[in-house]
């Protein structure tokens, strides 16, 4: 049966982008009913929504009264997705107002609810808006962080609607979480209120202005982890090393280049975090010195390239956690490491887990069509408590969900 999605549209200029989001939802097989606020029709008209969705479009509770739409629509939905979620709409949703069909639907929905905010930076940062967002998240709704970029007019800053493909990816994650046959224990918002840090991509260690020591990592797995965490309600910070993928909707992205920059950014972001997932491929070594000028081919071979060891970021986080731990038990953050290996034996994995001092080590084989730059992955997750969790080959988002399932157990 096709998933039933209610697409609520708020009265913001970004409403025109939601037409693309609607197309992505319908082309994926979802049955979508668009429920705009009355003022949203000032930006995109009723005829457009009806033509694109193939469903009737209503804004008030008085049309089709015999069918009780303000109750039935929410009751029958598998997902309610609101985009753009304006400051006004978030406020009315948080306070339980039901003055139009969309806000009434939000009150009757018993399915996952996803908000994609869009507004000016000052409105997003206002304490009232932040309080409303916190309240909605505490009730289990997923409120994405807005993107940073060009706003209405010449203004730029936080408050831009995330790109439609990224909102769509978050919606897909929520639908999958709610319907997966093995996820009956999983709440769509089971990471709500949690602060997580995910590193992604591959570091580059410069030799000269045009050359570097690096690896093949594209950040695909790290971004899948970030998207999935955001879809499950987390506040996500991504430390991205040389990643060219679109920013994950709902995540704050900090860009770095080298391992030392990665260490500094992760260490700062980890302060107060509940979880740190080191999915980035961090170079083990860097050149001892960097040439300020391009090393030219002039008939004379250059001197040897001397390498020095980079700091172990994950082991450093574990040592810092141990030093600050007081009393019995384990303090946060939960630490998750990733290891792309050609030797995936349990003996090697256990040795690495002990060296790193993390709670979970995700060991994934590389080569033979697996690993860097591919849409799928497989892994075995080794726990410091002796557990072993195999993850069969499948989409990287599926692997991400299993990893977060294991993390949630550590957080409870």
141-187 pLDDT per residue, tens: 999 989 888 887 778 888 999 999 989 988 998 888 776 544 444 56
Question: Left (φ > 0), alpha (ψ -120 to 50) or beta: where does 60 sit?
Answer: beta
C-alpha span between 115 and 167 (Å, rounded): 9
Q: How confident is the model at residue 330, as a pLDDT?
A: 53
Domain range for 82 is 4-179
The whole-number pLDDT of residue 133 equals: 93
From CA 172, how far away is CA 79, in angstroms rounded?
Answer: 10
Q: What is the CATH number of the domain that holds 235?
A: 3.40.50.10300
Same domain, 161 and 298: no
**How many domains, in total, are found in the chain?**
2
Instruction: Give the pLDDT of residue 182.
Output: 42
Q: What is the DSSP letter of 281?
A: B
CA distance 412 to 405: 11
For 179, phi then psi, to 5°, come to: -110, -15
d(CA 42, CA 239): 39
Single residue among 153, 179, 205 that ends a domain in this structure: 179
User: Residues 108, 240: one domain?
Assistant: no
Please give the Cα distance from 373 to 356 (Å, whole number). Answer: 25
d(CA 400, CA 232): 11
212 and 358 together in one domain? yes
In a shared domain, residues 157 and 71: yes
Q: Indicate the length of the chain as a whole number.
A: 412
- Core vs surface per residue 91-104: b (16+ CB within 10 A) or e: bbbbeeebebbbbb
Residue 188 lies in a domain: no
What predicted TM-score, i.e. pTM, was given to this entire model?
Answer: 0.81
Residue 245 lies in a domain: yes
pLDDT for res 324: 82
| Structure confidence at residue 64 (pLDDT) | 60
Q: Do 155 and 232 fall into the same domain?
A: no
Task: Indicate whether 206 and 82 sit together in one domain.
Answer: no
pLDDT at 183: 46
Mean pLDDT by 10 residues, the chain (412 residues): 94 96 96 95 96 90 58 85 97 94 92 94 96 91 88 84 91 79 55 93 96 93 94 92 91 95 97 96 95 86 88 96 70 90 87 95 82 86 95 92 95 84
C-beta separation of 57 from 30 below 8 A? no
Quote the pLDDT of residue 263: 98
Alpha helices for 240-345 (secondary structure H): 259-270, 313-324
Please report, for the chain, how many H helices and E strands are present, in that order. Answer: 13, 19
Tokens 């457009």 found at: 48
* Domain stops at, among 152, 179, 206: 179
Q: Look at residue 300 and tell me if it is in a domain.
A: yes
Residues marked as catalytic: 215
């Amino acid at each position: 049966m096709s998933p039933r999605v209610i697409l609520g549209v708020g009265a913001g200029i970004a409403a025109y982008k939601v037409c693309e989001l609607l197309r992505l939802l319908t082309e994926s097989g979802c049955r979508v009913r668009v429920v705009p606020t009355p003022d949203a029709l000032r930006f995109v008209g009723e005829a457009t929504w009806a033509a694109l969705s193939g469903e009737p479009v209503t804004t008030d509770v008085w049309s089709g009264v015999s069918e009780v739409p303000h109750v039935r629509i929410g009751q029958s939905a598998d997902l309610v997705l609101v985009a753009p979620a304006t400051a006004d709409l978030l406020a009315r949703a948080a306070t339980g107002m039901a003055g139009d069909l969309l806000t009434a639907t939000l009150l009757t929905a018993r399915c996952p609810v996803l908000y994609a905010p869009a507004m000016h930076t000052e409105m997003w940062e206002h304490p009232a808006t932040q309080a409303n967002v916190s309240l909605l998240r505490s009730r289990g709704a997923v409120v994405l962080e807005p993107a940073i970029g060009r706003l209405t007019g010449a203004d730029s800053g936080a408050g831009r609607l995330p790109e439609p493909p990224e909102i769509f990816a978050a919606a897909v994650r929520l639908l999958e979480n709610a319907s997966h046959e093995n996820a009956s224990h999983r709440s769509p918002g089971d990471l709500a209120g949690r602060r997580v840090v995910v590193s992604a991509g591959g570091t580059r260690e410069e030799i000269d202005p045009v050359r570097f020591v690096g690896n093949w990592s594209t950040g695909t797995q790290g971004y899948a982890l970030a998207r999935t965490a955001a879809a499950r309600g987390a506040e996500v910070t991504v430390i991205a090393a040389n990643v060219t993928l679109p920013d994950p909707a709902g995540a704050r992205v900090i860009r770095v280049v080298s391992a030392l920059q990665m260490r500094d950014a992760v260490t700062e972001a980890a302060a107060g975090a509940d979880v740190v997932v080191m999915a980035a491929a961090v170079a083990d070594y860097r050149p001892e010195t960097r040439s300020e000028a391009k090393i030219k081919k002039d008939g004379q071979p250059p001197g040897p390239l001397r390498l020095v060891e980079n700091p172990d970021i994950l082991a450093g986080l574990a040592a810092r956690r141990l030093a600050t731990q007081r009393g019995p038990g384990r303090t946060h953050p939960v630490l998750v490491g990733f290891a792309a290996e050609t030797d995936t034996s349990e003996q090697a994995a256990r040795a690495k887990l002990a060296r790193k001092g993390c709670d979970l080590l995700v060991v994934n084989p590389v080569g033979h069509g697996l690993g860097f730059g591919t849409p799928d992955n497989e892994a075995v997750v080794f726990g410091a408590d002796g557990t072993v969790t195999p993850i069969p080959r499948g989409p990287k988002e599926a692997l991400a969900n299993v990893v977060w399932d294991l993390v949630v157990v550590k957080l409870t």
